[in-house]
A and B are shown apart, each in its own frame.
Chain A
Amino acid sequence: MSMKMRALRIMLMIMLATLYGLSGVGDLARAEAEDSTPQIQRAAKVNTFNRLLKPPSERNLPPAEDGIHDPTSEGTYLLQSPREAFDSLPKSNSGNRVDWVKALEEKYIEPRFDRFDPEKKPMVFDLNIVREVKGSMPDVVYPHKQHTEWLDCSNCHPAIFIPQKGANQISMASILMGEMCGVCHGKVAFPVSECRKCHSQNKTAEAKN
């Protein structure tokens, strides 16, 4: 391994640690608890406790208190506070702590698809690509539907993905480095700590089909 690679790895691990420190341990552990035996549930409850988890009072702070807006500028006080804006939106565990997919589906918000024309609608494309994962880690389901609500085909094809099942090599490591799915997830779309949103298809569920 080259020096640079080694340094990169170290950095990556530190980043991962941070990510986890902030997001609460093992989303998977939590997710598992939903459909497992009581014994595991007990363990999972302990697992969800995390002293580094930000208490709600420190989330979605108003601009003047968020550490990047200048509180000495008058303009800062004219800006909307995310906490206030998100009040009526469906919640999630991470990122903006808003479930943007649900917010859109259930018409809490109606973002325009065209700059000028509020009537213009996206062409929603309902194609799922399931990517099997070895072992009993749930398989990844990539849904075009939710993505084409927000994005155009050309945002991803070919800029990020070749439009052919299995033609792209995707690994968790590349995602954490901000490539492939990580171009958006972990930056603007829900972060990588939400394992279950992507790893959504259980092996057992598949066998039942």
Chain B
Amino acid sequence: MTRWFMILFAVLAFLSVSAPVPKAFAEEEPKAPPVLKPKKAGVESRLENVKRLLEVSSGADRVKASGNADAIAKREEAIAAMVLAEESFKSKDYKESNEFLGQATTLMFEAVRMVGTGNVSKEKKLDDYNRRAASVNILLEALERISTEKKSGREVETQKDAIEAKVALSKTLLEEEKIEEARRELDEAYELVKVSIEELRGGDTLIRSLEFATKEEEYDYEIDRNDTHRMLIDVLLKEKRKTESIDNMVSKFVTQSESLRKEAEAQAAKGDYETAIATLDRSTKELVRAIRSAGVYIPG
């Protein structure tokens, strides 16, 4: 472990020495507008790109492995165009070379599109279907819950029936392996359920108030809140704690808070959540004090 710290400090020391260099670099006057490089370089780079497209890209692999004679022939044509481009490049006719490269690219794209199914695989379609279905189902559940809560009448019932009918039809279609049609029905159900929820809930404000079913639950919440504030100390006060007097004060509150938290954990371990909650609240308050003592006002 010690060895690691030594390395760490060495690296840090090095960094702090070297850090200003890139900073200065970044503060340079705005650079003059970039001038495009001579045509030759551009064509040369394109030549390399097109070579990769024809030889090593996934498109090239796909065409080579396809056994599709037409596509393979197209790729050969593309290669021929690239060879011409190379020759023009060598004889310094960059304009012509560039044109051949354009041809090679277009031909290769055609070849790739020939072997590609052009379609999404069946597994992916099924996967997508299932995702969308999960969304429809959970929104439908929400719609049911909300319509019960709001005691909404027949109209919503009718909408719900229509949505459920579409979902059922979609399922049947899926079983018949008509995945496209199944998806279409499902999408319609999705649009409908959105609109129905919007009609019921649009304009509402719901309040999730802090009510806990058990004291243990409240205790867990308080632990989270305590953790969050402990994290905030590191977040908010990192710079300020470099001042010793501030650091001392902050440390005092943090120590206080930590001991209260230990106390609370012991109380909770004995099952006395009520007292533990009160103690944790005091612990969190100490953290808030620590933050404020450094001059950062946070509510809490």
A: residues with CB less than 8 A from B are 12-13, 16-17, 19-21, 25-26, 28-29, 32, 36, 40, 43-44, 46-47, 50, 52, 57-58, 64-65, 73-74, 77, 123, 125-138, 153-154, 157-159, 162-166, 171-173, 176, 203
Contact = CB atoms under 8 A, between A and B. Distances in A.
A161 B34 CA distance: 47
B34 A127 contact: no
B205 A134 contact: no
Contacts of A20: 235-236, 238
A26 B135 contact: no
Interface residues of B, number: 53
A123 B299 contact: no
A135 B238 contact: no
Given A25-B296, A153-B194, A164 B142 contact: yes
A130 B41 CA distance: 59
Given A74-B37, A173-B228, A58 B195 contact: no
A43 B240 CA distance: 13
A32 B297 contact: yes
A131 to B, nearest CB: 5
Contact of B225 (A36, A135, A164): A135
Interface of B: 26-27, 31, 34, 36-37, 41-42, 45, 131-132, 134-135, 138-139, 142, 145, 190, 194-195, 197-198, 201-210, 221-222, 224-225, 227-228, 231, 234-236, 238-240, 284, 288, 295-300
A135 B34 contact: no
B240 to A, nearest CB: 8
Contacts of A17: 234-235, 238
26 contacts: A28-B297, A29-B296, A29-B297, A40-B297, A64-B34, A74-B37, A77-B36, A123-B195, A125-B194, A125-B197, A125-B198, A126-B202, A126-B204, A127-B203, A134-B221, A135-B299, A135-B300, A137-B298, A137-B299, A138-B299, A153-B135, A158-B135, A159-B131, A164-B145, A165-B206, A173-B224
A44 B292 CA distance: 11
A154 B129 CA distance: 12
Nearest to A192: B235
A26 B231 contact: no
Nearest to B224: A171
A128 B197 CA distance: 14
A7 B200 CA distance: 47
A16 B239 contact: no
B207 A130 contact: yes
Given A21-B238, A73-B45, A125 B201 contact: yes
Given A127-B204, A129-B206, A28 B235 contact: no
Contacts of B288: 135
A73 B49 CA distance: 12
A157 B141 CA distance: 12
B296 A154 contact: no
B209 A132 contact: yes
Nearest to A12: B231
A138 B37 CA distance: 56
A137 B235 CA distance: 16
Given A26-B236, A173-B231, A132 B208 contact: yes
B45 A132 contact: no
Nearest to B233: A13
B228 A172 contact: yes
Given A129-B206, A153-B135, A171-B228, A29 B195 contact: no
A74 B42 contact: yes
Contacts of B41: 74
A28 B231 contact: no
Contact of B201 (A36, A127, A171): A127
Contacts of A47: 295-296
A173 B26 contact: no
Contact of B138 (A44, A137, A163): A163
Contacts of A74: 36-37, 41-42, 45
Nearest to A163: B142
A166 B27 CA distance: 48
Q: Top 6 nearest A-B pairs by Cβ distance?
A: A166-B208, A154-B135, A136-B299, A16-B235, A128-B205, A77-B34
Contacts of B297: 26, 28-29, 32, 36, 40, 43-44
Nearest to B235: A16
B142 A125 contact: no
